[in-house]
Amino acid sequence: MKKSTHLFRQFLKWRYKNISNKYFVQLISILIGFLAGLTAVTLKNITYFIEALLENGIILSENQLYFILPIVGLTLVYLYTKFVNKHPLGNAVSSIMFALSKKNGILNVKKIYNPLITAPLTVGFGGSVGLLGPAVESSSALSSNISKFLRIDAKTRTLLIACASAGAIASIFQSPIAAIIFAVEVFSLDLTMLSVLPLLLASISGVLTSYFFLGNEVLFNYSLQESFELKDTFFYILLGAGTAIASIYFTKMYFWINNAFKKLKSPKYKLLVGGIAIGIMLYLIPPLYGEGFGFINNLLHGDDLVALGKTPFDAYTANIWVVILLLFGITIFKAIAMTTTIAAGGAGGIFIPTMVMGSALGNVVAKLINNIGLGFAVSESNFTLIGMAGLIAGVIHAPLTAIFLIAEITGGYELFVPLMITASISYLVTKNTMDFNIYTKELAEKGALLTHDKDQTVLTLMNLDDVIETNFKMVYPEMTLGEMLKKSVAKSTRNIYPVVEADRKMVGIILLDDIRDIMFKSELYETTKVESIMHAAPEYIFQDKDNMSQVMKKFQESGAWNLPVVKDGIYVGFVSKSKLLTAYRRKLIQHTT
């Protein structure tokens, strides 16, 4: 052990001496991209292996009882979470963003392997979620721990975590440009040459890893048949508005269902309710089973009935309006099935379900235009593709990712103009309606959201506990003026004194200015009590509630130089404006250099 530690230290010394930090980061980004690609490939193969076992009839799949499988998968995830992980699963991307803002990019080592177990069990058994989120989480945790092992600083660690996400996305979709843009849009990276080159190297490494292990196998085996026509512009504007409404519905449904499941205190009840609900939805709408890439591919090739699968409504699918209603049902229920899967304890991401919902909506809009009887004709496959872009732009608030992802999937840029039209409209409407998306809402409420606003980002990166000072002498309401002067004022270097009760509950403060006129009047030492001198603080900082933006605002509005910090009413310490501004300045320099 000592020998290996010595060798590692020698390696670090050699690295610092011979390889500049810039080139070292570039080399590590290639490794991170490879490992992220390998993680994504492993995750996909484990999931497809489980799906293949079930499809070959091991668990009643030939008897059309597949709709019971999600509850089996959720049960397995529940058992793993309870007895092995012993910690609830969370939103993959949100947990990464929280680690970047509040934990210096440190992710628990469990997050490397947890997604590789829980996500395949969820998706492989039919849970209506995606694998992208788990792939990004596992890759990011791997990158975080490698960075920690190699003594890489927090700022560079953030970049390498973004590289991991880019490598995972590039591997899954074989779309390196969209992968880079996702990392920039979602993780709010500054787009400079120092950040772009490592992202590019990681993305290329991830794509090459995918090609090495999977060959030319692609998610969407499709090439464009029809290009953009100017006469269809209005319909793409209409699709943009439709995907915006669907994005708002998707987001609101996500939070509503999650809040409803929180009322079920027991994980067992969540599993039971969620599993039954998903089973019913799968029986009525089979395409909700699993990720849904097969559904998208069938729609792109015009195989509507194959896409819909065997449903209780097969006798009526010769009628195009029944097909349209069933596809619209997928648009409505994909968000419900996905959120129910996650809320019931499953593991998975929201990105791919967003694509499934968008493809169904785009196809529905095209079919309505073509069959409404007004003589219009549009490409259903093109609308299917662009519907996906509209939902990604609206739900994730990532319009550039949406545009470049679909452009790369189709192998060209013939649809670039309609992609921009639909994605921009969807994003603008959704963003102006909802400030935060599924990834960012809870983070914003906690004050842990990183944005492209440098001022806000620096405040988010700051930790309240780091600026709390505790070297203040406490006084008690029943103290006399003489006791206060002898026990506190004479022994303190500060000019402010917290007044607390015996249980440290804070009841007020006393400033040195409050007693300056009477502190030398000895006749008042025994007759004057602290409680008659004290007064309320101009504002209080709540340690368990206030974020740094709120703290800064309280200083600005109160005009105070020191504000007390309390937790559940108990005195903790003080924050001084001077220390707060000094910490802010240091963090700003650290973040921008």
Q: Note down pLDDT in tens along the chain; length 593 residues.
A: 566 676 777 777 777 777 778 888 899 999 999 999 999 999 999 998 888 888 765 444 444 566 788 888 999 999 999 888 878 777 778 888 888 877 888 898 999 999 999 999 999 998 889 999 999 999 999 999 999 888 888 888 989 999 999 999 999 988 899 999 998 888 877 667 677 899 999 999 999 998 888 776 666 666 777 788 888 999 999 999 999 999 999 999 999 999 999 888 888 889 999 988 998 888 888 888 888 888 998 898 888 888 888 888 888 888 999 999 999 999 999 999 999 999 998 999 899 999 999 999 999 999 999 999 888 889 999 999 999 999 999 999 999 999 999 988 877 678 889 999 999 999 999 999 988 888 888 777 776 666 656 666 666 777 888 889 988 999 999 999 898 988 888 888 888 999 999 889 999 999 988 888 888 888 888 888 888 999 888 899 998 888 888 888 888 888 888 899 999 889 999 998 888 888 877 777 665 55
CA gyration radius, the chain? 29
| Local structure of residue 288 (DSSP, 8 states) | G
| Rounded Cα–Cα distance for residues 348 and 124 (Å) | 11
Indicate yes or no: pTM above 0.85: no
**Helices 132-149 + 92-102 axis angle, to 10:** 30
The b-or-e profile of 198-222 (16+ CB within 10 A means b, else e) is bbbbbbbbbbbbbeebbeeeebbeb
| Rounded Cα–Cα distance for residues 439 and 147 (Å) | 24
- Would you identify the CATH topology of the domain 456-592? CBS-domain (3.10.580)
Note the Cα 527 to chain centre separation in Å.
60
Q: What is the CATH number of domain 2-214?
A: 1.10.3080.10
Q: What is the pLDDT of residues 76-102, one digit of tens each?
A: 999 999 888 878 777 778 888 888 877
HEC secondary structure over 205-249? HHHHHHHHHHCCCCCCCCCCCCCCCHHHHHHHHHHHHHHHHHHHH
State the DSSP string of 544-590. Answer: TT--HHHHHHHHHHH--SEEEEEETTEEEEEEEHHHHHHHHHHHHHH
Closest CA to 76 of 345, 257, 353, 349: 345
**Which sequence spans correspond to the domains of the chain?**
2-214, 230-446, 456-592
State the DSSP string of 242-274. Answer: HHHHHHHHHHHHHHHHHHHHHT--SHHHHHHHH
Q: Do domains 2-214 and 230-446 have the same CATH topology?
A: yes
Q: Determine the pLDDT at residue 60.
A: 45
Q: Determine the pLDDT at residue 174.
A: 87
Q: Determine the pLDDT at residue 65.
A: 62
Q: What is the CATH number of domain 230-446?
A: 1.10.3080.10
HEC secondary structure over 464-530? HHHHEECCCCCECCCCEHHHHHHHCHHHCCCCEEEEECCCCEEEEEEEHHHHCCCCCCHHHCCCCEH
Burial (CB < 10 A; 0-12, 13-18, 19+), residue 519, is middle
Closest CA to 371 of 323, 419, 317, 307: 323
| Rounded Cα–Cα distance for residues 575 and 368 (Å) | 61
Q: Determine the pLDDT at residue 63.
A: 45
Token couple for 451:
């944005």
Closest CA to 241 of 347, 35, 47, 394: 394
Q: Determine the pLDDT at residue 199.
A: 93
CA terminus-to-terminus distance, the chain: 37
Element (DSSP H or E) covering residue 542: strand 541-542
CB 198 within 8 A of CB 167: no
State the DSSP string of 159-215. Answer: HHHHHHHHHHHHHHH--HHHHHHHHHHHHT----HHHHHHHHHHHHHHHHHHHHHHT
Q: Determine the pLDDT at residue 330.
A: 93
Q: Which conformational region is residue 447 in: left (phi greater than 0), alpha (psi within -120 to 50 degrees), or beta? A: left
Q: Determine the pLDDT at residue 386.
A: 94
